[in-house]
Every structure is written in C-alpha cells, then in structure tokens.
Amino acid sequence: MNNWLIVGLGNPGLRYEKTRHNLGFMVIDLLSQRMQTQVKREECRALIGRGEIENQRVELVKPQTFMNLSGEAINCLLKKEDRSGEKLIVIVDDLALPFGSIRLRGKGSSGGHNGLKSIENCLKTQEFIRLRIGIQPEHELQNTKNFVLETFTKTEFSKLENILQQSADAVSAIITDGTEKAMAKFN
C-alpha cells in the first residue's frame, strides 16, 4: 500500500523561515505537530517525517533544494517503493489568489509558480494534487521575487494561524474523503 506524500514547498534556512514563499513548509510543520512526529530524516535532498492521518500512512516532506529545484527531490522520492504520484499532495503559496484563500486541484498547470514548474518538468506530468494558498497583495507589485521572500505584514500575520489550520484541515480531508469532496468543502 502506497504512502501519501505530502510536500510543502519552501526555501531552507532561517532567512526564509517566516516568508510568504514558505507557506508550504509552515503547513507541513503544523501537520507534524498534529501527528506528533518530526520532519528531520534526510532523504533525496529533503527532510521527511512519517505518521498517520486517519489510519492512512503519510510522509511529510520539506524539499531542501530551494523552491525552483523542488521537482528534483520529489522525483527522487517517488522512485522509491511505497510511493506513487497518485498520492502526492503539493502545498504552495500562490500570488494569483487573494490572501488567505485556498484552492485544491487534482491536477493543473503551474500557473507560473517556479516550484510547481520544477515538479511538472521532473515528473513529466501535471497529474498531482495541489493545494494553493493565496498571498496576493492589495497593491500592484514592482518586484514579485522580493514580495514572496518578505515576511508577512502584521495584518497578514494575525490571520496566518487560521489559514494554516484551514490548509492542514484541507490536506486531511483529501486523505480521508478524497480530492473531489475536499474541493467541494474548501474551494
């Protein structure tokens, strides 16, 4: 039986820890707290933790390759037994979605997200589940790279815990109820 592979995208290191681009890592951290496991075992240039959600075996993953090379770590992990792209969930930030909103999809394009592009290129498919968390600013951006690598504003930070909880709940719903039902509930 294949394990679920729940991958949060982000950038390693303290410099990036509390930035918008690390929302995927933050959801993985919350899931690991809920599962009372640690995401620290090294494999395929990623940190991994194992546990269960509703009696389903899951592996929580934080690639350590930096965002734009995330696909390399995921591709390596999927080549191991007990893992399959059909049970892959990728969690990312999304500039195109209003701040705090989440969108679940069973497949789709990268939407310009470099982490998703890397995964699609390495896996040679767009057929994997993705959870996008909105970080869209209220104003026009001069430099998107700087924006995603900045920490949250005080207003955003005050809403962050609720967004992370909802995102972790959505991941659990995919595993327990299936993608379609989870989409109907959280989109």
Q: Which of 21, 62, 87, 113 is catalytic?
A: 21
21 flagged as catalytic:
yes
Q: SS3 string of the chain?
A: CCEEEEEECCCCCHHHCCEHHHHHHHHHHHHHHHHCCCCCEEECCEEEEEEEECCEEEEEEEECCCHHHHHHHHHHHHCCCCEEEEEEEEEEEEEEEECCCEEEECCCCCCCCHHHHHHHHHHCCCCCEEEEEEEECCCCCCCHHHHHCCECCHHHHHHHHHHHHHHHHHHHHHHHHCHHHHHHHHC
Write out the catalytic residue numbers: 21
